[in-house]
Amino acid sequence: MRSGFKFSNLLGQVYNRGNVVFSEDGTKLISPVGNRVNVYDLIQSKSFTFEYEHRKPISCLDISDNGNLMLSVDVDGRAILVNFKTKHELHHFNFKEKIHKIKFSPCGKFFAICAGRFLQIWRISFNTSNDEYELDSGDGIKEFQPFVKYRIHAGHSQDLINLQWSKDSRFILSTSKDLTTKIWSLTKEEQQLASMTFSGHKDFVMGAFFSEDQEKIYTVSRDGALFQWEFTKNSNLDESDNEDEEEEIDFTKYSWRITDKKYFYNRPALVSSVTFHTETNMLLVGFTSGEFRIYEMPYFNLIQKLSMGTNSVSTVSINKTGEWLALGSKKLGQLIVYEWQSESYILKQQGHFDIMNSLCYSPDGSKVVTASDDGKIKIWDVNSGFCLATFNEHQSSVTQIQFAQRGQVLYSASLDGTVKAWDLLRYRNFRTFTSTERLSFHCLAVDPSGEIVCAGSQDSYEIFVWNVQTGQLLDTLSGHTGPISHLQFSKENGVLASASWDKTIRIWSIFSRSQDVEPIEVFSDVTSLSIRFDGKHVACSTIQGQILIFDIENAKQIGNIDGKKDINVGRHITDRFESKNSDRGRFFKTINYSFDGEGIVAAGDNNSICLYDVKNEVLLKKFTVSNNILLDGTQELLNSSRMTEFGSLDLVEGANNIDDEDEDDPVIKNAIPGSRRGADMSSRSLKQEIRVTSVQFSPTATQFACASTTGLLLYSIDDTAIFDPFDLDFDITPMAIKEAIADKEYLEAFIMSFRLNDFHLINEVYENIPIKEISIICKNIPIPYLNRILKFVGEYSLESAHLEFNLIWIKNLLSYHGKYIMNNKFKYASELRKLQKFLIRLGKETTQLSKENTFSYMVLKSIDIANLEEEEVEFQNGFTLEDDDEEENEEVDALMDEDESDGE
């Protein structure tokens, strides 16, 4: 069992809070998702997530103009400096106060932050002119810190909201809640000339921006007023007629004045976010009503006015070229990239509003489907990370989803009392199954043939069986004396396994005449189960923290994994003791077998994902779901200073509430009885609890997914290692392989190249093997090397232009080893899917080529060859076929006769 799984991507959520920014080339969008950072490649339609995590949700981030450095800050002021190109963490720093905005200077040597009432400027000690980062202060003095404090500006009476650098990095504009804007200089020499306060607005100033020539300043307030400021000469001073034009200008006679006032007139909606693109003079404004507008400055011409919904636009951004606009709304987790010139959407994504209840991989492993408490079903592309489709026909929470074996039909069970079938070719609901009574379905299972679907409920102790073709209820399976917790069909023999709170597991044969089954006693409530791929073993998790493994045929227990001590249980906000003394959540609520049956992944209402080796019953690896300490159940130690005789101070609203920053009066939170799940987004909810609702291995056996409070976490095996030898010996060298090729010992050279596992050597040996030797080599390939050879041929075929050569290899490999592969297909699932992908693509291309050249073939077939022999045929490239070329004409006649005979 391979255990080299690492975190690879975060799906299910696209934006939570904070600001979004474009990369330096304008092709990538950087979005904070909780305490992680997602990056969306808008050109290649892919996304990835940085591996590092903050302790709390990210409040703001920014990237340097050269695209090398990225700095993200959480709500407590803890910052992480990252090399954006190599994805490596460079430095951790604590500003020790809340940071509302961070912005790198255009020169790349400084960055400024809004820290409360103060504007702080920090100098970057990194030499950012190239990728070789050197701690250099610029004057040759080495620094021990990546950045050092350069200057602090104080002058605002309330917290700062926004800041903006000038194009030459000499001045900074800061806006505040005190209804004013101030301009600051970077150096002390210019500070007296630049010191100025812009007042006159009647509400918070949301943004202030320099024009392209830096002769105008635009300020935008929350009430929808835009003021234009210009640096003009004071009118109360007398102009000197004898002033020489060549003399220096006396800046003391000049000041910033309001030259124009404009209003958006969008009451009662307020301005929630604003940004300005200096190169194109384009102003982008977002409102609390969900509307956003594009204006051309300085004429204040309205270019476009659109809406992204009914929720407030939390953040806006414009890329470097001014073509794409990014907008985010944290209420529903929406993220949009809009191309305003063509009026089209480049990216339009939205995550789940509530926690996800279930996930399921498609049979080919290319898609993963999630179901949530918000009643929506979303289909995500594993490679790109984007949502492909959303189904929202359910009227209540969707509890479980399941694919049919062919992958074209998806089934879902919901608390609204229905089981729905979805057509993934036309993306529509084509069948709805209901019971005779109004029940809430909690679990679901689909027969491998796709003819039968079963569902169980916690309101009834029966299992309901429907016919997919007719939609009729065929039977109800009775026998359990407690609520049904889990159902699953075996993919091989078609038996149905059910788990219940009555401390039993039952194995049903749906297609047999008798439905009498003997229960398998577990002696504890069963929370989840999983059947091995061959249908011989079943594993179940209990509330005692154990994973029990049974032989289905003999109904005998053959394994026991005790995972109670492997689970990391965090301390909840109401606990008066540390996590090590808590028994809450010390069991698994979801488990899943790997495709080869050698491993089990398990998780539950805790902060751990455990990967076990079934044969040896040992823990292979343990993953932490999240390090976000704002989630209930992630902290381990007890902070006694926060505890009082009336409870924890964290129960006071405003003490740890990061969303209601303007709340002045603390109010005790009273949670609704029964709303323990933490998905209630109103002010009455306490905290979201860390928990995992579903885990599943990918059919490719190289990845597994985890549906958690923080989103859909993907863990993959890193196959990028260049040198990974297999059964290596001292005699195996590149020179020995090349000598074997020269001596025509192709089988020996082929096996030696796989033992060395160098891709270039394998490729060289593969292409030097003659076609007549392929059959002999495939027949004598040792079994231990079969999976590696199949994997290489599958990957090589997808990129190679030698179609017939690759097809001969595939034909011979499957001809000689097909029986062994079928008997052990769970070991070769990933390799077979690569071969299948190549064959399907080749078949589609061949069919398309045949359709496109049908009429050309008919025309060539109808040409009279006899007449061509007597005439001179002139080709466009200057080559002529003369009558005296009798030998060539005879060869052409022979080839055409062969083609006609083959066609007949």
- The pLDDT value recorded for residue 796 is 83
- The pLDDT value recorded for residue 235 is 64
- The side-by-side arrangement of strands in the sheet containing 537-542 is 526-531, 537-542, 546-551, 556-562
Please give the Cα distance from 711 to 625 (Å, whole number). Answer: 10
> Are 756 and 737 a contacting pair, CB within 8 Å?
yes
On average, the pLDDT of the chain sits at 82
User: Is the model's pLDDT at 152 over the cut of 60?
Assistant: yes
User: Is the model's pLDDT at 270 over the cut of 60?
Assistant: yes
DSSP per position, 451-489? SEEEEEESS-S-EEEEETTT--EEEEE---SS-EEEEEE
User: Is the model's pLDDT at 783 over the cut of 90?
Assistant: no
- The pLDDT value recorded for residue 825 is 66
User: Is the model's pLDDT at 303 over the cut of 50?
Assistant: yes
How far from chain centre, in Å, is Cα 549?
33
Q: Which tops the pLDDT comparison, 364 or 709? A: 709
Gyration radius from the chain CA atoms: 34
User: Is the model's pLDDT at 241 over the cut of 50?
Assistant: no
Measured between alpha carbons, how far is residue 369 from residues 327, 360, 382, 449, 746 in Å? 25, 5, 10, 20, 46
User: Stretch 299-312: mean pLDDT, rounded?
Assistant: 91
User: Is the model's pLDDT at 721 over the cut of 90?
Assistant: no
Q: Which of 707, 664, 659 is nearest to 681 (CA)?
A: 659
Q: Which tops the pLDDT comparison, 866 or 228? A: 228
pLDDT over 70 percentage in the chain: 84
User: Stretch 694-721: mean pLDDT, rounded?
Assistant: 84
User: Stretch 512-532: mean pLDDT, rounded?
Assistant: 82
User: Stretch 638-645: mean pLDDT, rounded?
Assistant: 74
pLDDT tens digits, one per residue of 90-119: 899 999 999 999 999 998 889 999 999 999
| Cα torsion 735, 740, 746, 749: sign | negative
Task: Work out the burial of residue 837: count CB atoms within 10 Å of its CB; fewer than 13 is exposed, 13-18 middle, 19 or more buried.
Answer: middle
- The pLDDT value recorded for residue 609 is 93
Highest mean predicted confidence (pLDDT) among 4-18, 672-686, 867-881: 4-18
For the ranges 178-182, 564-568, 649-653, 896-900, the lowest mean pLDDT is seen at 896-900
Domains of the chain listed by start with CATH number: 264-340 (2.40.10), 367-531 (2.130.10.10), 568-718 (no CATH), 854-903 (no CATH)
User: Stretch 300-306: mean pLDDT, rounded?
Assistant: 93
User: Stretch 384-388: mean pLDDT, rounded?
Assistant: 89
At residue 748 the predicted structure's pLDDT band, cuts being 50, 70 and 90, is: confident
CA atoms within 13 A on the CB side of 795: 13
Task: Work out the burial of residue 685: count CB atoms within 10 Å of its CB; fewer than 13 is exposed, 13-18 middle, 19 or more buried.
Answer: middle
Pairing of strands 344-350, 520-521: unpaired
Residue bearing tokens 């796709």 = 450
User: Is the model's pLDDT at 411 over the cut of 90?
Assistant: yes
Please give the Cα distance from 739 to 140 (Å, whole number). Answer: 55
How far from chain centre, in Å, is Cα 819?
39
Please give the Cα distance from 708 to 35 (Å, whole number). Answer: 14
pTM for the model stands at: 0.76
Cβ neighbours of residue 621 closer than 8 Å, sequence gap 6 or more = 3, 5, 610, 611
Measured between alpha carbons, how far is residue 60 from residues 69, 324, 347 in Å? 14, 21, 21
User: Stretch 758-763: mean pLDDT, rounded?
Assistant: 80
Residue bearing tokens 């400055």 = 297
Measured between alpha carbons, how far is residue 702 from residues 366, 394, 699 in Å? 12, 32, 8
Highest mean predicted confidence (pLDDT) among 218-227, 304-313, 841-850: 218-227
Highest mean predicted confidence (pLDDT) among 537-546, 755-764, 787-796: 537-546
